[in-house]
Amino acid sequence: MTEVAQRKQTRISRRQVDKFDARRTELAVATLHTLAELGYARTSLREIAQNSEFSHGVLHYYFADKRDLITEAVRQYEVVCVTRYDEVVARAKSAGQLRDEFVAMFFDTLEKDAILHRLWYDLRNQSLFDESFRAAVLEIDSHREAMVWRVVSRYAELVGGTPAASASMIYLTLDGIFQRALLHHLSGNADTVAQLRVELPAAVGLLVTVAE
């Protein structure tokens, strides 16, 4: 095969791979809400197909199994999630504005996207038992940690202080609050969620050290 022919074959192969990946992404996003409604334990590719517009054969062609589909679906959702607060950070002119808008968005997404967040925690819990999930979960978790760090480090800058802990510890703190609020939201415990909303601004303040 000549060099020109090889380059042409390479371009064709790359386009085929790109089209395949694009279709995987499309299918993962399209089935995301079905996955979130059913959860990991109650799903199979066939059940997902029965609850979506896609056939079992199509899903099976693009995904090896439900692990593959769920991982890709959560990854695509997190691509959007991990930039959620960036606009809040970018437009903040004061620490109070950043804190208040962060808290508002924190609970807004908790309520609007509860079943999608539930799917993420489902996947993260499954990774404790299923090694095939772990690399993706660790990757997504690192992006979420970086998202939180952008908020808190900017807040610290605006109050003239420094973060009171490492990025990982700050992320664990806020993620723990979010997961608890999500559980109570899904359980219909509105009073508990409301109390967490009242207390979150003070918790954000504790994540930053300001020199006397």
Tens-digit pLDDT profile for residues 85-122: 999 999 999 999 999 999 999 999 999 999 889 989 98
- 111: Cβ contacts below 8 Å, ≥ 6 apart: 185
Q: Judge: domain 3-70, CATH 1.10.10.60.
A: yes
Helix 167-186 and helix 95-112, axial crossing angle in degrees, nearest 10: 40
Higher pLDDT, 128 or 22: 128
**Short-list 212, 133, 136, 145, CA closest to 178:** 145
Look at the alpha carbons of 62, 66, 71, 77 in this order and tell me if their dihedral is positive or negative: positive
pTM of the model: 0.82
Read off the tokens for 190: 């509105």
